[in-house]
Structure 1
Amino acid sequence: MKAVGIRGTSHYLPARWMTAAEIGAASGIPEAVVAEKFGIRGKHVAAPGEHVSDMAVTVGASALREAELDPSDIDAVVYFGSTWKDHPVWQAAPRIADRLGCTEAFALELDYVSCGTPVALRVARDLLVAEVELRRVLLVAACRESYLVDYEDPGSRFTYNFGDGAAAAVLERGLERNEVLGSHMLTDGSFSHHVKVPAGGSVEPASEDTVRARRHLLSVEDPANMKTRLDPVSVPNFLRAAEGACKRSGISLDEIDYLCGIHMKRSMHDEIVAALGISPDRASYLDDTGHMSGVDPMLALDRAVAAGEVREGDHVLALAAGTGYTWAATVVRWGERKA
């Protein structure tokens, strides 16, 4: 089977940085708690006229330059970012492909919210393996969910770390470096209604009343019940996803060298790192960006490679979970494939 490798990556962060002090002032939570318990020193916030498609085009163009490719070299443009985009009931991928000049590419949209990176890597790898006429896929994601946060709703406080940003990668069939290996996912749909924007869909169409009641911001249905049920299973399910991805990659869990995960509270991050048996300095922690829907692990990978933290031969684990609830993991072996 032909290898599928990552030819180039990139990330983008908006200029404005909202500090922990600002988050604390908006929510009424002490700055120290935001920084220490929430694990966030600050997060980036998109400009008022800066939308998901704008950030995706910016980062997509950067990834193409990094990969030393023309837009016409791309066979598919896959968007895997936030489901809250420029317009409702609208796909960003065709718009992104058009603006980038990817005239030979078809567009594909993946709606996997926060677990987007490992899922997108899996789908793109499988697509390139299955369809031999395809050579290269551009994966691109963006998030603007800082605008969905309701700081006046204590029940949705776990969303206070939601920020904005974008990341992208070019995958190529036959590339024997930075190889995308195995993936694994598991879902518990009993959590499917806990986190959502309540209004604007067919169940609760938009109206003057829904706008007045602030029903178009992210909300957590019964936060106490969600926490009671989610806390005992979250870390074990992260580990199950990781173990499954490693098994499908032909390695063991103790062969993971670097973790690119999603931003979460510091205590849970530390618990996962310890359970994986890796050193804390071999795991990204995005305390200067917060959580950006499906963007986090891809952005973390791009940063870690640029900083020299990911080394030749490292097994990198992209690990994430998305409300719904789905846990997902994909292993990437960085560097040249050994004979």
Structure 2
Amino acid sequence: MGGIVDFDVCFPSARADIGGMHSASGVALAEIAGITHCDGFPVLGEKEDAWELALQAARTLLERTPVPADRIRQVVYAGSGEWDRPFWSPSAKVAHALGIDGAHCFEVANFCNAGMTALRLLATDGALGEDEYALVLVGDRLSRMVDYTDPGSKSLFNFGDAAAAMLLTRGDGRFRVLHSAMRTDGSWADYYAGRVSDNRVFIRRAEHRRGLADAYIRTFTGLVDDTLAALGRRVADISHFLINHGDRDMHESLLTRLGIPRERSVFNYDRLAHMGGTDTLIALGDLERAGRLRTGDLIMLATSAMGFSWGITTLEYRG
């Protein structure tokens, strides 16, 4: 499989504040804080679009790791499918803005698992030729789809916005992709869905159904077991286990179930909420900047998404 040469994350300029959520919804501040775990977090500003954040992440990445535009043969935009404009290609928009005019541009919609799904597609043998690269853009506008006036949507009040760009190669890169395992439980397909109100799409949950937390733990555990068996490794070999920041309690429960020490994960809940598909890349960047990565480290990225899909993407740090 291929690898990640480099990546970058871009944050928006505005912030959501739990005080504003409380005023709009009537939900108690303490209850909202129990969902967000912080007083505020980055969201798209009134005049910001998600594709612009992805473009900025890509520009920063390509300035740091220059690659000739004609060597980038695939540009993929990954997210929920609810783009900044309907019936439109954000991948083509970003590619053109970057001067990448000879690539195949397309979108992958798998919600917060989409970035890792795109990585899986492009890191497989044969996806890229010799001396060819792919650019994966991860971007969504999740905060724009949360109705803060609806107390029934309070479980979504921790949805923030960020964008990322990953440069992929046929070779190992700085992070070699060792394995990808993904699974979907379609029985949850209708649990969350978008509804149009006042010309906006809001995410609404169906009538409460028990068992989703158990599905998370069960599916993630199964995917980790499958991955370790495929790689001939053990839980003790996992250097870092990074997960989407959707639910801190579930995060901690999963580490306990797997037997992974807390210090082998990253907890950014005190400063960031759920930043969509960029959560694990934010955590990975934090580890590298802190000097906590060592050559040969086995890193698992645990991603999940509405639908409901789960994925375990395993990387080896090459330095």
Whether TM exceeds 0.5 here: the answer is yes
1:297 to 264, 274, 280: 280
Higher mean displacement: 52-61 or 132-141: 132-141
Q: 2:248 aligns with which of 266, 270, 273?
A: 266
Equivalent residue runs for 1:161-240 within 5 Å: 161-175=158-172, 177-199=174-196, 210-211=197-198, 216-222=201-207, 224-225=208-209, 228-240=210-222
Measure how far apart 1:332 and its partner are. Answer: 0.4
SS of residue paired to 1:29: coil
**Are the equivalent residues in 1 in contact too, given 2:81–2:109 (CA < 8 A)?**
yes
What residue number does 1:115 align with? 113
| 1:88 to partner: Cα distance | 1.4
Matched residue, 1:257: 239
| CA contact 2:298–2:314 (8 Å) conserved in 1 | yes
Cα 1:25–1:241 shift into 2, 3 Å: farther
1:217 partner amino acid: F
Counterpart contact for 1:178–1:333, Cα < 8 Å: yes
Match of 2:9 among 8, 11, 18: 11
Partner of 1:106: 104
What is the alpha-carbon distance in structure 1 between the residues aligned to residue 17 and residue 90 of structure 2? 29
SS in 2 for 1:164: coil
Change (3 A) 1:90 1:234: same
For normalisation by structure 1, the TM-score amounts to 0.86
Matched, 1:132 2:129: yes
Q: 1:137 to 1:247 in 2, by over 3 A?
A: farther
> CA shift at 1:26, angstroms?
3.4
Q: Which amino acid in structure 1 is aligned with residue 202 of structure 2?
A: L
- 8 Å CA contact retained: 1:166, 1:299: no
Which amino acid is the alignment partner of residue 183 of structure 1?
S
How is 1:302-321 mapped onto 2 (pairs within 5 angstroms)?
Answer: 302-321=285-304
- Conserved? CA contact 1:72–1:101, under 8 Å: no
Structure 2 CA distance for aligned equivalents of residues 111 and 260 of structure 1 = 21
Following TM superposition, by how much is the alpha carbon of 1:141 offset from its aligned partner in structure 2, in angstroms? 0.9
* 8 Å Cα contact 2:140-2:161 kept in structure 1: yes
Contact 2:244/2:303 (CA < 8 Å) preserved in 1? yes
Moved over 6 A (4+): none
Displacement of 1:131 after TM fit?
A: 4.5
Distance 1:317 1:24, change over 3 A: farther
1:139 is matched by which residue type in structure 2? Answer: V
Q: Deviations over 1:83-113 (max 9, x none)?
A: 2212112221111111111123211211010
* Residues 34 and 40, structure 1, Cα contact 8 Å, conserved in 2: no
The letter of the residue matching 1:175 is D
After alignment, is 245-254 or 261-270 more displaced? 245-254
Deviation at 1:215, TM superposition (A): 7.1
Q: CA deviation at 1:78?
A: 1.2
- Tell which deviates more after alignment, 307-316 or 107-116: 307-316
Helix, strand or coil for the counterpart of 2:178? Answer: strand
Identify if the C-alpha distance between structure 1 residues 303 and 66 changes in structure 2 by more than 3 Å, giving closer, same or farther.
farther
Deviations 1:235-289 (A, max 9, x none): 1112222222333344233321112211122211111122232222321233223
The residue correspondences of 1:7-86 to structure 2 (distance < 5 A) are 7-86=5-84
Q: Is the 8 A contact 2:235 2:260 kept in 1?
A: no
Instruction: In structure 1, list runs of 5 or more residues that go unmatched.
Output: 200-209
Q: Comparing 319-328 with 145-154, which one deviates more in the overlay? A: 145-154
Structure 2: unaligned runs, 5 residues or longer: none
Equivalent position amino acid for 2:283 in 1: A
Secondary structure of the residue that 2:16 maps to in structure 1? strand
Q: CA deviation at 1:75?
A: 1.4
Of residues 311, 316, 319, the one that matches 1:333 is 316
SS at match of 1:137: strand
